[in-house]
Amino acid sequence: MSTGIKATNNSKFTAGTANIVADIGVDLDNSVGHIEIFNFLPSEGSSLEQLFENFSVKPSRQLVEEAASEVAATRDANVLQKSKLKTWFDDQGLTASLWVNVAATIAAAVLSK
């Protein structure tokens, strides 16, 4: 199992932004942490409906639906790279690893139908 942030032994930490793709987002073992903006995607993935439930910063539903529609229409997940949703991710400064997992979740949800 992977852990995004682990703090132990009465440690304290503060983070401005944390973008995590892992099995466990934050593990505070007898510790205190503060994260201003926390975006967490479980490594096992999520359903399309649950995709952004653990994100502090969320795209509009319209952006997500538009991206999913583009994949459905073309049957090609590569269209996500040029989507407005991808531009939104870039503008927010979200990490590439987070985007790859989001794109894979959208593609899997749409293309499995």
Domain segments of the chain: what residues?
Answer: 3-111
Question: What count of other Cβ atoms lies within 10 Å of the Cβ of residue 88?
Answer: 17
Q: Give the pTM.
A: 0.70
Pairwise pLDDT comparison (7 vs 80), residue with the higher score: 80
Q: Tell me the pLDDT tens digit for each residue of 61-76.
A: 999 999 999 999 999 9
